Amino acid sequence: MNDNTQSLPKRRIFPPQSAEELLVRCGNLAGKTLGQIATELGVSVPDDLKRHKGWVGNLLEIALGADAGNKAQPDFVALGIEMKTLPLNAQGLPKESTYVCTVSLQQTGEMTWQASWVRRKLAQVLWVPVEAENTIPLAERYIGQAWLWQPTIEQDLVLQHDWEELMDRVVLGQQDELTAKEGEYLQIRPKAAHSRVLAKGVSRVGLTEKINPKGFYLRTVFTKQLLERG
């Protein structure tokens, strides 16, 4: 009755017990192609990412044993580590900005940088560089050596400055007017299935109104620095 000829059984990977174990797993992935990793995991490779934009990230989460699922927690819950793929262009530089989290002024206690969602997300990040030039077939793209990062004091200060300036405007009800051109390292851009999606926000009068949801993103000028410094 069972037909296993179409795909291999999916291998189950347990969460790493420590950051060291996680980094060892990353070392084993470095130098492999997405196709090799997908085959080992019994995952099929789409033709391209147009309708599978999160495929690479999801594949690497499975390969490394991330256990947060789609919950609002770090990918490696017990370790407090968030994983981000870093798409690289032909020059080996970041090709796209990095999504961090949605812009929201819910939850009291999240109105300071220290307690902000952005800072918690970026407290400890495992960056996994991946070739992303679309001239390279998806399955043939190589994974680079991942590294664990925590913001330096200097980086944290710039991020805090950006966050505070952007959030000031959000609180004033100017979220709809915010443009991606603002912010040195952090920027605010649309984040939704499409532009007709509406979420609750705050108008300039302090009233609730429907607005297009937006998210925080790290500019490539920032992730480029992370690549250089390791």
Which positions touch DNA (CB under 7 A)? Answer: 48-54, 56-58, 60-61, 68-72, 75, 82-85, 87, 95-97, 99, 101-102, 104, 106, 130, 132, 134, 179-181, 187, 189-200, 212-213, 215, 219-220
What angle, rounded to 10 degrees, do the helices at 19-29 and 55-64 form? 120
Query: Smaller CB distance to DNA: residue 77 or 153?
Result: 77
Give the dihedral sign, CA 26/29/35/39.
Answer: negative
Query: Smaller CB distance to DNA: residue 160 or 213?
Result: 213
Q: SS3 for 161?
A: helix
Cα dihedral 158→122→178→105 (10° resolution): -120
The one-letter amino acid code at 187 reads Q
Query: E strand or H helix at 211, and its extent?
Result: strand 208-211
> Min. distance of Cβ 153 from DNA in angstroms?
25
Query: Smaller CB distance to DNA: residue 91 or 153?
Result: 91
Query: Smaller CB distance to DNA: residue 69 or 153?
Result: 69
Query: Smaller CB distance to DNA: residue 15 or 215?
Result: 215
What angle, rounded to 10 degrees, do the helices at 55-64 and 34-41 form? 60
The one-letter amino acid code at 55 reads W
> Min. distance of Cβ 101 from DNA in angstroms?
5
Distance CA 175, CA 128 (A): 31
> Min. distance of Cβ 177 from DNA in angstroms?
10
> Min. distance of Cβ 215 from DNA in angstroms?
6
What burial letters (b/e) apply to 87-107, b meaning 16+ CB within 10 Å? bbeeeeebbebbbbbebbeee
> Min. distance of Cβ 67 from DNA in angstroms?
11
> Min. distance of Cβ 229 from DNA in angstroms?
19
Query: Smaller CB distance to DNA: residue 172 or 221?
Result: 221
